Amino acid sequence: MKGDVYIASSTDKEVLEKAECGGVVTSLLKFALESKRADAVLAVKARDGNRYDGTPVLISQPDKVIETAGTLHCTSPNIARYVKEYTDGASDLKIAVVVKPCDAKAIIELAKRTQVKMDNLILIGLNCTGTLPSVKAKKMMKEVFGIDPTDVVAEDIDDDRLVITLADGTQKEKTLMELEEQEYGRRENCRRCETNIPTMADIACGKWGTSDKGTTFVEACTEKGANFIDAAISAGCISIRQPNPEAVQLRRKKDDAAIQSAKQWQERDFSSLKQMSSDERFEYWFGQFERCIKCYGCRDACPICYCKDCNLEADRGLVPPGEVPPDIMFPMVRITHVMDSCVNCGQCQDVCAMELPLSRLIFMLNRDLYDIFKYEPGVDIGQLPPLRTVTEQELSLSGVDVAF
Amino acid sequence: MSIEYAPTICPYCSCGCGIYLVVEDGKIIGQEPWKEHPINEGANCPKGKNAYAFLYSKDRLKNPLIKKNGTFRKASWDEALGLIVSKLKEATPETFGTLGSGKTSNEESYLLQKFVRVVMGTNTIEYVGRLCHSSAVAALLPAVGSGVMQTSQPEIELADCIFLAGVNIMETFPMIARRIFRAKAKGAKVIYSDPRKTATARYLADIHLPLKAGTDVALVNAMMSIILAEGLEDKEFITSRTADFEQVRDFLCQVDLKQAEAITGVSLEKIREAAITFAKAERSCILYDQGICQHTVGADNVKVHADLALLTGNIGKPGTGVNSMRGQISGEGTGDMGCLAVFYPGFKRVGEEAAKFFEDAWGVSNLPTKPGLTYIDMLYKCSHLYIVGTDPMMAVPDVNNLRKALKKANFIVVQDIFLTEIGKLAHVVLPAATWVEREGTHTYVDRRVQKIEKVIEPPGEAKPDWWIVCQLAERMGYKDKFNFSSAGEIFEEIRRCVPQYKGITYERLKRTPGGIHWPCPSENHPGTPTMFLEKFNTADGLGHFQVVGFKPPDEIPEDEYPYVLTTGRSIFHYHTGTMTLRTPKLVDEVSHGFVEVNPEDATKVGVKNKDMVTLETRRGSIEAEVKVTDQVPPGLLFIPFHFPDSCANVLTNPALDPSCKCAETKVCAVKMEVKK
Boundary residue ending a domain (B274, B298, B324): B324
Separation between Cα atoms, residue B165 and residue B513, nearest integer Å: 30
Collect all residues with Cβ–Cβ distance below 8 Å to A312 and sequence separation of at least 6: A296, A299, A318, A319, A330, A333, A334
pLDDT band, residue A20 (cuts 50/70/90) = confident
Query: Which of A351, A352, A355, A359 is the best substitution to test chain B (most B C-beta atoms within 10 A)?
Result: A351
Same domain, B256 and B369: no
Same domain, B306 and B415: no
Summarised one tens digit per residue, pLDDT across range B357-388 is 999 999 999 999 999 999 999 999 999 999 99
Separation between Cα atoms, residue A129 and residue A196, nearest integer Å: 6
Establish if A241 belongs to a structural domain.
yes
Q: Which of A56-70, A187-201, A376-390 has the lowest mean pLDDT?
A: A376-390
Establish if B330 belongs to a structural domain.
no
Establish if B446 belongs to a structural domain.
no
B495 in Cβ contact with B346 (< 8 Å): no
Distance of CA B135 to the CA centre of its chain: 11
Same domain, A199 and A290: no
pLDDT of residue A403: 43
Summarised one tens digit per residue, pLDDT across range B161-175 is 999 999 999 999 999
B167 in Cβ contact with B7 (< 8 Å): no
Domain that holds residue A335: 276-395
Cis-peptide, bond into residue A243, ω within 30° of zero:
no
Same domain, B307 and B409: no
- CATH number where B310 lies: 3.40.228.10
Establish if A318 belongs to a structural domain.
yes
Quick check: A55 and B20 CB within 8 A? yes
- CATH number where B69 lies: 3.40.50.740
pLDDT along chain B (676 residues), means of 10: 92 97 97 98 98 98 97 98 98 98 97 98 97 94 96 98 98 97 98 98 98 98 98 98 97 97 98 98 97 97 98 98 94 97 97 98 97 97 98 95 97 98 97 98 98 98 98 98 98 98 97 96 98 97 98 96 97 95 97 97 97 98 97 98 95 96 96 94
With beta carbons under 8 A apart, name residues in chain A contacting B590: 321-322
Would you call A357 an interface residue with chain B, using a CB distance cutoff of 8 Å? no
Same domain, A344 and A217: no
Nearest CA in chain A to B205: A291
> Measured between CB atoms, which of A58, A85, A351 is closest to B1?
A58
Candidates A310, A342, A82; CA nearest to A189 is: A342
Beta bridge partners of B413: B386, B428
The interface predicted TM-score (ipTM) is 0.95
Same domain, A240 and A105: yes
Task: Give percent above pLDDT 70 in chain A.
Answer: 97
Same domain, B414 and B465: yes
Quick check: B199 and A325 CB within 8 A? yes
Q: How far is B600 from chain A (nearest CA, A)?
A: 22
Backbone phi and psi for residue B269, each to the nearest 5 degrees, phi listed first? -60, -45
Summarised one tens digit per residue, pLDDT across range A33-62 is 999 999 999 999 999 999 999 999 999 999
Establish if B544 belongs to a structural domain.
no
With beta carbons under 8 A apart, name residues in chain B contacting A324: 170-171, 199, 571
How long, in residues, is chain A? 404
- Answer yes or no: is pLDDT of A355 > 80: yes
Candidates A231, A199, A212; CA nearest to A99 is: A199
pLDDT band, residue A399 (cuts 50/70/90) = low
Quick check: B199 and A314 CB within 8 A? no
Same domain, B185 and B257: yes
Same domain, B242 and B106: no
Establish if B300 belongs to a structural domain.
yes
E strands in A159-301: 161-166, 171-175, 203-206, 216-220, 238-241
Q: What is the DSSP string of B225-274?
A: HHHHHTT-S-HHHHHHHEE-HHHHHHHHHT--HHHHHHHH---HHHHHHH
With beta carbons under 8 A apart, name residues in chain B contacting A286: none
Q: What is the DSSP string of B497-514?
A: H-GGGTT--HHHHHT-TT
Number of structural domains in chain A: 2
Nearest CA in chain A to B572: A322
Quick check: A47 and B44 CB within 8 A? no
Quick check: B589 and A321 CB within 8 A? yes
How long, in residues, is chain B? 676
Would you call A75 an interface residue with chain B, using a CB distance cutoff of 8 Å? yes
Please tell me the number of Cα atoms within 13 Å of A127 on its side-chain side.
21
B289 in Cβ contact with B327 (< 8 Å): yes
B569 in Cβ contact with B642 (< 8 Å): yes
Q: Is B552 exposed, middle or buried (0-12, 13-18, 19+ CB in 10 A)?
A: middle
Nearest CA in chain B to A76: B35
Mapped onto helix, strand or coil, the DSSP state of residue A217 is strand
Same domain, A384 and A342: yes
Boundary residue ending a domain (A256, A284, A299): A256
Same domain, A246 and A310: no
Same domain, A203 and A249: yes
Q: How far is B33 from chain A (nearest CA, A)?
A: 7
Distance of CA B50 to the CA centre of its chain: 21
Nearest CA in chain B to A93: B1
Same domain, B300 and B174: yes
Please state the pTM of the whole predicted model: 0.96
Same domain, B190 and B143: yes
- Answer yes or no: is pLDDT of A402 > 80: no
Q: Which residues of A93-119 are buried (b: 16+ CB within 10 A; e: fewer)?
A: bbbbbbbbbbbbbbbbbbbbbebbbbe
Summarised one tens digit per residue, pLDDT across range B14-28 is 999 999 999 999 999
The letter for the amino acid at B248 is: V
Same domain, A15 and A61: yes
Establish if A176 belongs to a structural domain.
no
Q: How far is A390 from chain B (nearest CA, A)?
A: 34
Same domain, A287 and A391: yes
Establish if B419 belongs to a structural domain.
yes
pLDDT of residue A389: 81
Same domain, B164 and B310: yes
Boundary residue ending a domain (B294, B324, B354): B324
- CATH number where B594 lies: 2.40.40.20
pLDDT of residue A213: 79
A330 in Cβ contact with A87 (< 8 Å): no
Backbone phi and psi for residue B389, each to the nearest 5 degrees, phi listed first? 55, 45
The letter for the amino acid at B409 is: A
Would you call A313 an interface residue with chain B, using a CB distance cutoff of 8 Å? yes
Beta bridge partners of A99: A125
Same domain, A228 and A357: no
The mean of the pLDDT values for chain A is 94
Same domain, B193 and B317: yes
Q: How far is A148 from chain B (nearest CA, A)?
A: 13
Establish if B505 belongs to a structural domain.
no
Same domain, A322 and A229: no
Same domain, A307 and A348: yes
Same domain, B146 and B123: no
> Measured between CB atoms, which of A48, A77, A293 is closest to B571?
A293
Summarised one tens digit per residue, pLDDT across range A140-196 is 999 999 999 999 999 999 889 999 999 999 999 999 999 999 999 999 999 999 999
- CATH number where B36 lies: 2.20.25.90
Separation between Cα atoms, residue A369 and residue A50, nearest integer Å: 40
Domain that holds residue B230: 138-324
Same domain, B22 and B151: no
Distances, alpha carbon B216 to alpha carbons A222, B290, B595, B605, in Å: 70, 12, 23, 29
Would you call A321 an interface residue with chain B, using a CB distance cutoff of 8 Å? yes
Quick check: A47 and B5 CB within 8 A? yes
Number of structural domains in chain B: 4
> Measured between CB atoms, which of A93, A315, A353 is closest to B178?
A353
pLDDT of residue A308: 87
User: Which 8-state DSSP code applies to residue B202?
Assistant: I
E strands in B271-375: 284-288, 321-324, 343-344, 348-349
- CATH number where A216 lies: 3.40.640
With beta carbons under 8 A apart, name residues in chain B contacting A325: 199, 203
